[in-house]
Amino acid sequence: MRKVTFFKSIHVKFVLIYILLILLAMQIIGLYFAQQLEETLIRNFENSVEDRMQIVEFSVREEMTRDRTEEDLSLQQSLRSVLSSFQSDDINEIRVIDSRYRILGSSLIDNQSLVGQRSTEELVRQTIAGEAPLDQTKVDPQQRDRVWVATQPIMAVGGDVLGTLYVESDVENVYNQMDDINSILAGGTALSLAITAILGVLVAQTISKPIADMRRQAQAMAKGNFSRKVRVYSDDEIGQLARSFNHLTNRLQESQQTTESERRKLDSVLSNMTDGVLSTDRRGRVILINDPALQLLNVSRETVINRPVTAVLGLDNDYTFEDLIHMKEAITLDLSNYDQTTLLRTNFSVIQKETGFVNGLIAVLHDNTEQEKIDTERREFVANVSHELRTPLTTMRSYLEALADGAWQDPEIAPNFLNVTQTETERMIRLVNDLLKLSKMDSSDTELNKEMVEFNVFFNRIIDRFEMSKSQDVHFERQLPSESYFVEIDPDKLTQVIDNIISNALKYSPEGGKVRFKVNAQEGFLLVQISDQGMGIPKENVEKIFDRFYRVDRARSRAMGGTGLGLAISKEMILAHGGVIWAESKYGKGTTIFFTLPFEADDGGEWE
């Protein structure tokens, strides 16, 4: 940790920057110097070899064009004598090659065996063909040294090419000289950097020392200590900064005292409020919250401060801080849990400067649990009554429309229709009474007006009524046993149960769908099944559909008039008759409602 802090020091940074600048300048100078020196040395080396090649070319041309007598030496011997005189430390070998690529002479004694043979060097062929000097640098495969190879065409007086000179010179010595020069330059650079570093440390102290004093003063001010003063070392810019810093310290001390006084007043006001209040900074993080707000949100101050207000209020999935800034209406926060219900009405107010810059946000929390609970119960009760009364009213309307269309003139149909209408009217009254008594059904036995009923006849009558009044293109399929089964039930209440189930099946059945009715006898109980081909219910929600006011799809259920109370009432009714009710569903394929009723087999007696 100390190592990291050391490299963050302005003193060290200043020295490092100083050294790096010097090092960069010296590297640029050294690179340019080394590059130029290398080019100059190589160029001088090549010029030196080329000058000697000119002299050798002149001497060789004289030997090759001279008329010889029997007393004169042969051409090979003459060339060997000429080439040996030009042998030096930087020239490895000189060869003379005629225009037919035959080697006429070599300056190396070890290569005399090559005299008379054809040269295979591509550079030689190019020089003779192009009548121009060529050169290249290659690496000696045996010595691993760099060799500079040059060719010089030997031209006769008439302009014909007599041959070419092939020279191999040792250029490695030039590169060795450059390595020595670079070593000297590196040593000088290192020495200069050491001296520069020492001077940089001394110079940096004059700048970093007053800055370090101001840093310590700033840290003391952050802790609330405004009594210290920064020492002024000079009258330059840093000295003027130190004086300004001392003046700033005095002004901050005065402002801090004023702010502290206002803060105590604000704390007193917030502590005595009954509503919860929290305030944020311009980034939406909570900086202030009073005790009522902590109690309403059931949080501690340590877990709230510096957290985003959207996260504290549980709105981070629905709103951003920018959304809350532009929020004009109140938001209801639902903080309910298994133990209690908590609903908070939250109003937001923006803190802005005169320029319009948003400085923060204030949220005021008011406990609206009881009022919301009363409103919710009222809405659910009204919606539930509307849902439960809709089916009887629809039935009555169908029969009344039939009577209005002329059925009242039929002496056989009219009394039956009027009887059904009267029956439905009375059942609506009983339905209203049942809804009002629903809250008492859990704590006391439900009073049932039971009578013995043949279930198939009873069930078919209800299905017929729905089949006649349904508006959708839905087909009814019945799978009822041929045997007669008698159940002791309250016809009105069981009618309400079956009405609720069939109504739900019709609601969610698509056009052209099918609703199936099935009854089986199992060990003293009738198992009744009502199936639809609707959208189905997710597996995790099947067990919840019998809860009061529960709806799988709230938006769609409300659009269809559902309240979530029908199946809850049905459950209570079936339990009161000694049976059970449950559901099975495959999401996207449909739902089946099952319920059981105790029955008695037909013993041949007469029932009215």
Higher-scoring residue by pLDDT: 214, 584 = 584
Q: Per-residue confidence at 519, pLDDT binned at 50, 70, 90?
A: very high
Distance CA 527, CA 539 (A): 22
pLDDT at 225: 73
The most confident of 364-373, 411-420, 457-466, 568-577, by mean pLDDT: 457-466
Q: Per-residue confidence at 517, pLDDT binned at 50, 70, 90?
A: very high
Token pair of 283, please? Answer: 């980034």
Decide if 484 is inside a domain: yes
- What domain range includes position 577? 376-601
Q: Per-residue confidence at 321, pLDDT binned at 50, 70, 90?
A: confident
Q: Per-residue confidence at 548, pLDDT binned at 50, 70, 90?
A: low
Backbone phi and psi for residue 285, each to the nearest 5 degrees, phi listed first: -95, 140
Q: Which of 5-9, 410-414, 466-470, 534-538 has the lowest mean pLDDT?
A: 5-9
Residue 544 is given by DSSP the state G
Q: Per-residue confidence at 579, pLDDT binned at 50, 70, 90?
A: very high
Total count of domains within the chain: 3
pLDDT tens digits, 84-104: 777 777 787 888 888 888 888
Distance CA 164, CA 131 (A): 9
Distance CA 52, CA 41 (A): 17
Q: Is the pLDDT of residue 563 over 80?
A: no
**Type of residue at 142:** Q
pLDDT tens digits, 137-190: 888 777 677 888 888 888 887 778 888 888 888 888 888 888 888 888 888 888
Residue in the structure block whose two tokens are 């009822």: 480
Residue 311 sits in the same domain as residue 383: no
Q: CATH no. for residue 26? A: 3.30.450.20
Higher-scoring residue by pLDDT: 517, 51 = 517
pLDDT at 594: 94
Q: Which of 162-176, 491-505, 572-586 has the lowest mean pLDDT?
A: 162-176
Q: Per-residue confidence at 28, pLDDT binned at 50, 70, 90?
A: confident
Distance CA 289, CA 305 (A): 8
Q: Is the pLDDT of residue 451 over 70?
A: yes
Residue 307 sits in the same domain as residue 385: no
pLDDT at 442: 57
pLDDT at 2: 47
Q: 38-71 burial by CB neighbour count: b if 16+ within 10 A, else e?
A: beebbeebbeebeebbeebbebbbebbeeeeeee
Q: Is the pLDDT of residue 71 over 60?
A: no
pLDDT at 35: 84
Which has the closest alpha carbon to 171: 125, 213, 139? 139
Q: Considering the entire predicted model, what is its pTM?
A: 0.35
CA R_g for the chain: 55
Decide if 262 is inside a domain: no
pLDDT tens digits, 248-293: 887 877 787 788 888 788 777 777 777 888 889 988 899 888 888 8
Residue 31 sits in the same domain as residue 108: yes
Decide if 214 is inside a domain: no
Decide if 209 is inside a domain: no
Q: Is the pLDDT of residue 598 over 80?
A: yes
Decide if 269 is inside a domain: no
Q: Per-residue confidence at 1, pLDDT binned at 50, 70, 90?
A: very low
Residue 325's CB: how many other CB atoms inside 10 A? 18
Residue 360 sits in the same domain as residue 380: no
Which has the closest alpha carbon to 519: 485, 480, 557? 480
Residue 283 sits in the same domain as residue 152: no
Which among 367, 389, 417 is the end of a domain?
Answer: 367
pLDDT at 460: 92
Q: Is the pLDDT of residue 443 over 60?
A: no
Decide if 395 is inside a domain: yes
Residue 308 sits in the same domain as residue 342: yes
Average pLDDT over the chain, rounded to an integer: 79
Q: Is the pLDDT of residue 516 over 90?
A: yes
Residue 459 sits in the same domain as residue 574: yes
Q: Which of 178-182, 372-376, 491-495 has the lowest mean pLDDT?
A: 372-376
Q: Is the pLDDT of residue 43 over 70?
A: yes
Q: Is the pLDDT of residue 5 over 60?
A: no
Q: Residues 419-428: what's their mean pLDDT?
A: 78
pLDDT at 461: 92
Q: Max CA-CA distance within the chain?
A: 166
Instruction: Work out the angle at residue 509's Cα, subtended by the Cα atoms of residues 456 and 505, and round it to the nearest 5 degrees.
Output: 40
pLDDT at 558: 40
Higher-scoring residue by pLDDT: 491, 605 = 491
pLDDT tens digits, 190-247: 888 788 778 777 777 777 777 777 777 777 777 777 777 777 777 777 777 777 878 7
pLDDT at 559: 43
Residue 446 sits in the same domain as residue 337: no
Residue 354 sits in the same domain as residue 417: no
Residue 39 sits in the same domain as residue 14: yes
Distance CA 175, CA 27 (A): 19
Decide if 436 is inside a domain: yes
Q: Is the pLDDT of residue 554 over 60?
A: no
CA contacts within 13 A on the Cβ side of 423: 14
Which among 320, 345, 367 is the end of a domain?
Answer: 367
Q: Residues 127-133: what's their mean pLDDT?
A: 83
Q: CATH no. for residue 470? A: 3.30.565.10
Percent of the chain whose pLDDT exceeds 70: 86
pLDDT at 4: 44
Token pair of 386, please? Answer: 């509307």
Q: What ranges in 332-445 are assigned the alpha helix state H?
A: 369-404, 413-436
Residue 426 sits in the same domain as residue 283: no
Distance CA 289, CA 272 (A): 13
Residues 335/345, Cβ–Cβ less than 8 Å: no
pLDDT at 381: 62
pLDDT at 487: 92
Percent of the chain whose pLDDT exceeds 90: 10
Q: Which of 232-246, 473-487, 489-503, 542-556 has the lowest mean pLDDT?
A: 542-556
Decide if 577 is inside a domain: yes
Residue 53 sits in the same domain as residue 155: yes
Which among 313, 344, 367 is the end of a domain?
Answer: 367
Q: Cα–Cα distances in Å, from 223 out to 118, 165, 219, 305? A: 94, 88, 7, 19
